[in-house]
Amino acid sequence: MAHNTLKIHPEDNVLVALTDLREGDVVEFNGKQIGIVANIPAKHKFAEQPLEAGQEIIMYGSLVGKATEAIPAGGILTTSNVKHQVSGFTGKTKTIDWQAPDVSRWVDKSFMGFHRADGQVGTGNYWLVIPLVFCENRNVETIKQAFMEKLGFGQQDLYKEYVQQMVELYQAGKTDEIATLPLQPNSTNGRHRVFENIDGIKFLTHEGGCGGIRQDSDMLCALLAGYIHNPNVAGATVLSLGCQNAQVPILEERIKALNPNFSKPLIILEQQKEGTEQQLLTQAIRQTFLALVEANKQTREPAPLSKLVIGMECGGSDGFSGISANPAVGHVSDLIVALGGKSILSEFPELCGVEQEIINRCVDDKTADRFVHLMRAYAHAAEAVGSGFDMNPSPGNIKDGLITDAIKSAGAAKKGGTSPVADVLDYGEYVVQPGLNLLCTPGNDVESTTAMAGSGANMMLFTTGLGTPTGNPITPVIKVSSNTKLAERMPDIIDVDTGPVIAGEKTIEEMGEAMLDYIIEVASGKSITKAQLLGQDDFIPWKRGVSL
């Protein structure tokens, strides 16, 4: 790596600008000089040698695009001169010989977690309040208002007090002072929690459960069953209207399929059976409070690192994500797998172009064939509505150097490390196999993180180059920045900065190892993520069908 350029793979024909390059600059790479013929912002790519119109663009050792016009050496790659292009894929063509990393440093380490009767271990102890259908959202919100403040789970409302200060200034005739009024956090506004061993009560409102195709309601029940089964959850209160598509028996069947010996406390109330809204809410609040008393008796106990289930996500990605943050997370995945744990790589649209590599990493033909089937079915569904994986990059991605989905995908796939693919799961299925698991989800940040928690993730690593506040109600989300400028600009959302990799100060392996140490701290309840501090409880089920 030169101080201002990087060639990711020996077969690549493009270089990455690590710093801003100006027209007329000359960069040295591998003993040759390349004249820069246009301004190239950091994170963007430029041609190492002249590229002809129609020539393939190779990055990460993979086909990621095709030149639509001639690009001179030192010329920047843009959406105007490059179009999305990927290689085809088929079944397994070879078997990967994986060399597991040295994990001797962590073999005897443990985290302090909540042990469940089914053998899973939670990194938190949450109670859920869930509507089976959107008709119950208001009742869920009413329960939330009743519980949060009185039980000490309410967050400090800085902005409510800020508005009150402005009202007082206005009423006092001091409107001019409002323009310079500072926000003054009140550090003494913390409340004592009534139930010290409960990390929170989470209220998962949504817009599903009825009105769409039955498959979406079934998938919603599968997702909610996964949340209830997740080891971070002590129990749940479920509100049903009664007449909706997402019926109580469907939820109960899904829970039983996950665990025939399910023994967590589960309160299910149906409004059309209970009578008045007041009767429903009184029952829900009373029964939930008594269940919280029991859930509070659970305490953290030591657990081996093999009980960790790490979900891996990227959002607001930039041109550095695939170079620093994503491969560092990938190394964490390899470490977890080597320790006997589980990791989850989701976002199938962001595996476009690297399918064959992933297929060859599958442990057997059956696993590989399932991945092929899910990828092709998803791609065909996108094309059926006039879209495609090539439309995945967002304006922010493109602005910061990810100009094709193939470039974005090649970097995003690095979160999966190098270990074999142990299993391939469709949306709503639960992780059971130790090792790296692929989970079919959209590339949408929240739809994907929502799915991984429903599939059993008890921790998540979320990389970002542009900054995103995404969190999850029940699973701690550790936010990892790809560059130091972001970590310094948005310290309220970033937990780990992998910018030192770009600066040449740390290796991918060193960053991954430090990240694993931090995971243990968070999993043990000794550290709180920024998303948790912000109360960032994002929950969006994936709706695959149409409304009826």
Assess whether pLDDT exceeds 50 at residue 166. Answer: yes
- H helix intervals, 385-483: 395-399, 405-412, 445-454
Q: Is residue 172 part of a domain?
A: no
Measuring CA to CA, which residue among 135, 377, 484 is closest to residue 277? 135
> Which of 262, 297, 332 is where one domain is finished?
297
Q: Is the dihedral of CA 236, 239, 242, 246 positive or negative?
A: negative
Query: What whole-number percentage of the chain has pLDDT above 70?
Result: 98
Burial class (CB in 10 A: 0-12, 13-18, 19+), 118: middle
Mean pLDDT of 90-115: 95
pLDDT digits (tens, 9 = 90+) for 478-533: 999 999 999 999 999 999 999 999 999 999 999 999 999 999 999 999 999 999 99
pLDDT digits (tens, 9 = 90+) for 415-449: 999 999 999 999 999 999 999 999 999 999 999 99
pLDDT digits (tens, 9 = 90+) for 450-482: 999 999 999 999 999 999 999 999 999 999 999
Residues 236 and 378 in one domain: no
pLDDT recorded at residue 321:
95
Which amino acid is it at 26? V
> Which of 25, 56, 83 is where one domain is finished?
83
Assess whether pLDDT exceeds 70 at residue 305. Answer: yes
Rounded-to-integer distance, Cα 204 and Cα 454, Å: 12
Instruction: With H, G, I as helix, E, B as strand and everything else as coil, classify residue 342.
Output: strand
Residues 367 and 224 in one domain: no
> Which of 297, 331, 352 is where one domain is finished?
297
Assess whether pLDDT exceeds 50 at residue 1. Answer: no
Residues 328 and 292 in one domain: no
Q: Residue 15: which CATH number?
A: 2.30.130.110
Residues 293 and 327 in one domain: no
Residue range of the domain that includes 437: 323-533
Residues 269 and 330 in one domain: no
Residues 330 and 282 in one domain: no
Place of tokens 């092929």: 372
Residues 328 and 406 in one domain: yes
Q: For residue 160, what are the contacts with CB-CB under 8 A and spacing of at least 6?
A: none
Q: Is residue 252 part of a domain?
A: yes
Confidence band of 386 (pLDDT split at 50, 70, 90): confident
Confidence band of 403 (pLDDT split at 50, 70, 90): confident
Confidence band of 545 (pLDDT split at 50, 70, 90): confident
Q: Is residue 434 part of a domain?
A: yes
pLDDT, averaged across the chain:
94
Residues 524 and 479 in one domain: yes
Mean pLDDT of 303-320: 96
Q: Is residue 428 part of a domain?
A: yes
Q: Is residue 159 part of a domain?
A: no
pLDDT digits (tens, 9 = 90+) for 284-300: 999 999 999 999 999 99
Burial class (CB in 10 A: 0-12, 13-18, 19+), 99: exposed
Residues 334 and 287 in one domain: no
CA distance to 57, 118, 127, 500, per residue, from 293 (Å): 61, 21, 11, 46
Q: Is residue 120 part of a domain?
A: no
Confidence band of 406 (pLDDT split at 50, 70, 90): confident
pLDDT digits (tens, 9 = 90+) for 323-354: 999 999 999 999 999 999 999 999 999 998 89
pLDDT recorded at residue 188:
44
Residues 428 and 499 in one domain: yes
Q: Is residue 468 part of a domain?
A: yes
Assess whether pLDDT exceeds 60 at residue 271. Answer: yes
- pTM of the full predicted structure? 0.93
Mean pLDDT of 41-51: 94
Confidence band of 546 (pLDDT split at 50, 70, 90): confident
Give the chain's end-to-end CA distance (angstroms, integer). 55
pLDDT recorded at residue 191:
60
CA distance to 116, 264, 310, 341, per residue, from 431 (Å): 16, 19, 11, 11
How many structural domains comprise the chain? 3
Q: Residue 247: which CATH number?
A: 3.40.50
Measuring CA to CA, which residue among 381, 355, 379, 380 is closest to residue 369? 355
DSSP 99-137: -PPP-TTTTT-EEEEEE-TTS-EESS-EEEEEESSGGGH
Residues 243 and 278 in one domain: yes
Confidence band of 244 (pLDDT split at 50, 70, 90): very high
Residues 286 and 197 in one domain: yes
Q: Is residue 95 part of a domain?
A: no
